Amino acid sequence: LDDLTTRDQRMMFGILTMVHLADSKKQLDSDTELLLSIARKHLCQMATLKWQQVDGLNTVLPYGLRKINALRTLTTESTAVLIPFHTQEILQPGGIYYGQNAVSKNLLVADRKKLMNGNSFRLGVSGSGKSFSAKEEIVHLALSTDDDILILDPESEFTKLVEALGGQVVKVSATSDNHLNAMDMDAAYGNEKNPLIEKSEFILSVFEQLVGAGNLSAKEKSILDRCAADVYRDYIRSGYTGEVPTLKDMYRQLMLQPEEEARGLALSSELFINGSLNTFAQPTNVNKK
């Protein structure tokens, strides 16, 4: 009763029917006694069906019928023990191979876009094949879907694979010839309702990282928001065409502001805008498509 009231269990009706065969009556009786003794050993009670062998056989066969008029009550926890299908199989049409079910030994074929949560995580010791399995999945996706595949590769493990699949390798470093404009924006940026609002929030987060997390004052945030609107004004009026502003334009706009805090922001960001780490302060020269 406590299971029903405190553990959220339910009362179920169930019956466990077993059929066993033997080559002779003597062997059958011996096996029956052995089964009964094993059941008693585990505090279970089993009984032989007298004059109901046909009904018992029909109950066991996968007809979905119960021919034995005998039931007992079980809690849901006890009933679950009797259900043999305790493994979750994943075999989805159009999916790719992810491995083998450790319990049933069946293949795992899944389309992550159809799962409730499409994220994946690879964990293993060095040399266990994490990178290889990731490359295998990338090849499957590249050859069988039109998905966009973005790889952040600090160890340069995927360069040859991307080149072999006809992809683009963008090397981001202080000495690289590739540049990504942190202020790139078009009409579809963000939620498409007001791209400037989301871009302004992004610029605030960039400068907060430059000056130190939590060190950006309310006055400095207001200055950055004002400068962002000024920098993008002509670009937005032209229908998001023409030359996209860069962080260098943001730097110049900060220097034009009358507040002393604006000059402090410009000085804090100078290394990453006009200095040697200006990779994200120049017009984008890689294919963004």
State the pLDDT at residue 116. Answer: 85
State the pLDDT at residue 37. Answer: 93
4 vs 28 pLDDT, higher one? 28
Confidence band of 50 (pLDDT split at 50, 70, 90): confident
**For the chain, what is the domain count?**
4
Side chain identity at residue 132, one-letter code: F
Q: Are residues 44 and 136 in the same domain?
A: no
In this structure, are residues 281 and 182 in contact, taking their beta carbons and an 8 Å threshold?
yes
Q: Tell me the average pLDDT across 222-226.
A: 93
Q: Are residues 140 and 214 in the same domain?
A: no
φ and ψ of 234, to 5 deg: -65, -35
Q: Are residues 205 and 279 in the same domain?
A: yes
**pLDDT tops 80 at residue 287:** no
Pair of tokens at residue 120: 């994946």
State the pLDDT at residue 86. Answer: 65
Q: Are residues 38 and 135 in the same domain?
A: no
**pLDDT tops 80 at residue 34:** yes
CA–CA distance from 252 to each of 24, 173, 203, 229, 230 (Å)? 99, 24, 15, 14, 11
Residue 185, domain CATH? 1.10.8
For residue 65, the enclosing domain spans 2-81
Q: Are residues 156 and 251 in the same domain?
A: no
Each residue of 12-22: pLDDT tens digit?
888 888 899 99
190 vs 234 pLDDT, higher one? 234
Last residue of a domain, one of 169, 198, 231: 169
State the pLDDT at residue 225. Answer: 93
Q: Are residues 175 and 289 in the same domain?
A: yes
**pLDDT tops 90 at residue 164:** yes
Last residue of a domain, one of 115, 133, 160: 115
State the pLDDT at residue 1. Answer: 64
Each residue of 111-150: pLDDT tens digit?
888 888 888 888 989 888 899 999 999 998 898 888 889 9
Give pTM, 2 decimals.
Answer: 0.58
Each residue of 73-110: pLDDT tens digit?
888 888 877 776 667 788 888 888 888 888 778 898 98
Q: Are residues 235 and 135 in the same domain?
A: no
State the pLDDT at residue 266. Answer: 92
In this structure, are residues 32 and 19 in contact, taking their beta carbons and an 8 Å threshold?
no
Q: Tell me the average pLDDT across 157-175.
A: 90
Confidence band of 24 (pLDDT split at 50, 70, 90): very high
Q: Are residues 286 and 217 in the same domain?
A: yes
267 vs 85 pLDDT, higher one? 267
**pLDDT tops 60 at residue 289:** no
Q: Can you list the alpha helix ranges (DSSP code H) found in the chain? A: 2-6, 25-41, 53-60, 76-81, 130-144, 159-164, 195-211, 218-237, 247-255, 260-273
Q: Are residues 175 and 164 in the same domain?
A: no
Q: Are residues 147 and 257 in the same domain?
A: no
What's the sign of the alpha-carbon dihedral 216, 220, 225, 231?
negative
Q: Are residues 209 and 242 in the same domain?
A: yes
pLDDT averaged over the chain? 87
State the pLDDT at residue 46. Answer: 87
**pLDDT tops 90 at residue 6:** no
- Bridging pattern class, strands 11-14 and 96-100: unpaired
State the pLDDT at residue 102. Answer: 81
State the pLDDT at residue 192. Answer: 63
Residue 256, judged by CB atoms within 10 A of its CB (0-12, 13-18, 19+), counts as exposed
Share of the chain above pLDDT 70, in %: 97
Confidence band of 30 (pLDDT split at 50, 70, 90): very high
**pLDDT tops 70 at residue 288:** no
Q: What are the DSSP calls for 247-278, one per residue?
A: HHHHHHHHHTSSSHHHHHHHHHHHHHHTSTT-
Bridge partners (DSSP) of residue 75 are 11
Q: Are residues 133 and 37 in the same domain?
A: no
